[in-house]
């Protein structure tokens, strides 16, 4: 077998050699594809350059009221030479000869003064930034497309445009009502006086009366403490946020106290998933699965009264298992996770946890994990806000999240039940 393979290999090499000699004898020319592409690119770039310069000359003639060197009474001005400048285009960088006039100011309608790239290119760069593309990646993309990297000054000016848009979006008025509001924060690293410290960005998502989600606010919180949450909630209220019916969040430091101060009429639902994790930290690893089944049983009941009875059973079982700390936490805090029972059962799965907010912030974490530390709090806030704004601009906010007619029906039935209870109470007193 090896001898056969050797013979086949020898025959193949001989055949290739004969084919090469045959091509040479026939005068076949080999084409250098890279050289052809380079030549075609140069031709296109040259054509674009000539066309733009011809348009500039025509525009200068129109402003002067006469062609170059033409003598006519209609002439308004004369040429005074030109200056060169570069313009980045999709065909590459071209050199323009911009005409100068003696008395009139030459402002071309073809290319805005001091503009180095087409507006479509700038818009593309801005969209890349909003989509979460890193600055280094933007430089690589522009170099691949146009043969040169975007200058730091260009990126800086684009960032300022982005920041202006984001600030306008962050401070927009909030119109309408949002029965459900999710709150959470994300901790990032920032450089401060030569040290790396934590900075928090707080965010809020609301579900409106039509059942659609909306990013209500994003703000820097320094720390996720009472001062940070209080400032953020006041910011939302000042922009028009009315008191929600239910606010869903983890038990962040100072958040519950701030809610009682800013939105005292709103019910608060503690995220059940975060609550489970807090309890698991006081349970041996081999018992976590068993305890998880107990805790989930609390939130699988048909109503709040049944859930409270189940809580008492779970506390007793945890004490029998000698898990005193876990039993104490369940007995003390379980009621904080049962607020969702007063709302439509079809909504329970979506309002008993903070998962909708967690999934949204996951997009932010994916974007910022490549950044070691932000230079300041503003850049951290702007990047998080840009990412959230980009997410909200996609199908996320256009998909109906809940059927809010169920909430209206639930509110009507609750009112009816309260009125009936009051009537029974009054009739009993009269009797």
Is 363 among the domain residues?
yes
Across the range 54-73, mean pLDDT stands at: 80
SS3 336: helix
- Can you read off the two tokens belonging to residue 252? 């962040």
Is 24 among the domain residues?
no
Rounded to 5°, the CA angle 56-57-61 comes to: 120
Specify the number of domains making up the chain: 3
CA distances from 412 to 181, 242, 260, 344, 418 (A): 21, 20, 26, 12, 10
Is 135 among the domain residues?
yes
Whether residue 371 sits in one domain with residue 293 = yes
Whether residue 331 sits in one domain with residue 200 = yes
Write down the mean pLDDT value for the chain. 79
Whether residue 216 sits in one domain with residue 351 = yes
CATH of the domain at 357: 3.30.420
Which of the pair, 261 or 106, is modelled with greater confidence? 261
Whether residue 308 sits in one domain with residue 211 = yes
User: What pTM was computed for the model?
Assistant: 0.66
Whether residue 94 sits in one domain with residue 163 = no
DSSP string, 186-204: EEEEEEETTEEEEEEEEEE
Is 188 among the domain residues?
yes
**Can you tell me the distance from the alpha carbon of 62 to that of 64, in angstroms, rounded to the nearest whole number?**
5
Whether residue 249 sits in one domain with residue 188 = yes
- Taking only the tens place, the pLDDT of each residue in 159-176 is 777 778 888 889 999 998
Across the range 69-91, mean pLDDT stands at: 78
Is 150 among the domain residues?
yes
Domain boundary among 127, 150, 168: 168
- Can you read off the two tokens belonging to residue 93? 């960088």
Whether residue 240 sits in one domain with residue 150 = no
With a pLDDT cut of 90, the percent of the chain lying above it is 37
**Can you tell me the distance from the alpha carbon of 161 to that of 418, in angstroms, rounded to the nearest whole number?**
54
Which of the pair, 312 or 383, is modelled with greater confidence? 312
**Can you tell me the distance from the alpha carbon of 251 to that of 256, in angstroms, rounded to the nearest whole number?**
7
Name the pLDDT band for 211 (thresholds 50, 70, 90). Answer: very high
- Taking only the tens place, the pLDDT of each residue in 7-18 is 434 444 555 456
Q: Which of 28-32, 221-225, 392-396 has the highest mean pLDDT?
A: 392-396
CA distances from 359 to 6, 184, 293, 355, 392 (A): 61, 11, 24, 6, 13
Whether residue 364 sits in one domain with residue 267 = yes
Whether residue 331 sits in one domain with residue 302 = yes
Is 17 among the domain residues?
no
- Taking only the tens place, the pLDDT of each residue in 236-281 is 999 999 999 999 999 987 888 999 999 999 999 999 999 999 999 9
Across the range 318-326, mean pLDDT stands at: 95
Spatial CA neighbour of 323 closest among 299, 288, 296: 288
With a pLDDT cut of 70, the percent of the chain lying above it is 69
User: The domain containing residue 320 runs over which residues?
Assistant: 177-411
Whether residue 203 sits in one domain with residue 125 = no
Provide the 10 A C-beta neighbour count for residue 33: 8
**Can you tell me the distance from the alpha carbon of 150 to that of 221, in angstroms, rounded to the nearest whole number?**
33
Is 19 among the domain residues?
no
Is 3 among the domain residues?
no
Q: Which of 17-21, 74-78, 210-214 has the highest mean pLDDT?
A: 210-214
Whether residue 81 sits in one domain with residue 62 = yes
Whether residue 235 sits in one domain with residue 260 = yes
């Amino acid at each position: 077998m090896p001898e056969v393979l050797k013979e086949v290999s020898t025959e193949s090499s001989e055949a290739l050699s004969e084919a090469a000699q045959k091509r040479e004898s026939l005068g076949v020319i080999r084409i250098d594809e890279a050289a052809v592409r380079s030549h075609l690119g140069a031709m296109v770039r040259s054509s674009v350059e000539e066309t733009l310069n011809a348009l500039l000359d025509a525009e200068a003639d129109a402003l002067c009221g006469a062609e170059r060197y033409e003598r006519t009474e209609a002439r308004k001005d004369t040429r005074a030479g030109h200056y060169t400048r570069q313009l980045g285009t999709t065909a590459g960088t071209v050199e323009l000869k911009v005409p100068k006039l003696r008395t009139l100011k030459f402002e071309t309608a073809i290319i805005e003064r001091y503009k180095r790239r087409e507006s479509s290119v700038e818009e593309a760069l801005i969209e890349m930034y909003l989509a979460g593309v890193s600055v280094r990646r933007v430089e690589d993309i522009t170099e691949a497309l146009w043969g040169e990297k975007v200058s730091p000054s260009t990126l800086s000016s684009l960032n300022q445009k982005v920041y202006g848009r984001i600030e306008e979006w962050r401070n927009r008025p909030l119109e309408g009502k949002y029965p459900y509001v999710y709150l959470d924060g994300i901790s990032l690293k920032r450089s401060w006086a030569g040290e790396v410290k934590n900075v928090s960005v707080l965010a809020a998502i609301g579900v409106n009366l039509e059942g659609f989600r909306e990013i209500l606010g994003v703000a820097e919180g320094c720390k996720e403490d009472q001062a940070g949450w209080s400032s953020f909630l006041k910011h939302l209220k000042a922009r028009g946020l009315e008191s929600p019916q239910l606010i869903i969040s983890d038990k962040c430091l100072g958040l519950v106290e701030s809610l009682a101060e800013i939105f005292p009429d709103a019910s608060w639902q503690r995220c059940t998933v975060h609550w489970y994790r807090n309890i698991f930290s006081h349970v041996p690893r081999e018992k976590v699965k068993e305890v998880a089944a107990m805790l989930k049983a609390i939130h699988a009941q048909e109503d709040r009264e049944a859930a409270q009875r189940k809580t008492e059973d779970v506390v007793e079982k945890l004490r029998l298992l000698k898990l005193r700390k876990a039993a104490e936490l369940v007995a003390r805090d379980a009621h904080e996770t049962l607020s969702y029972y007063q709302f439509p059962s079809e909504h329970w799965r979506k309002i008993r946890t903070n998962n909708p907010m967690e999934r949204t912030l996951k997009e932010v974490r994916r974007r910022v994990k490549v950044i070691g530390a932000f230079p300041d709090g503003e850049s951290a806030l702007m990047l998080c806000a840009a990412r959230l704004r980009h997410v909200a601009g996609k199908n996320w906010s256009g998909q109906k999240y809940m059927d809010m007619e169920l909430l209206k029906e639930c509110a009507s039935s609750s009112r009816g039940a309260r009125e009936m209870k009051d009537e029974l109470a009054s009739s009993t007193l009269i009797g």
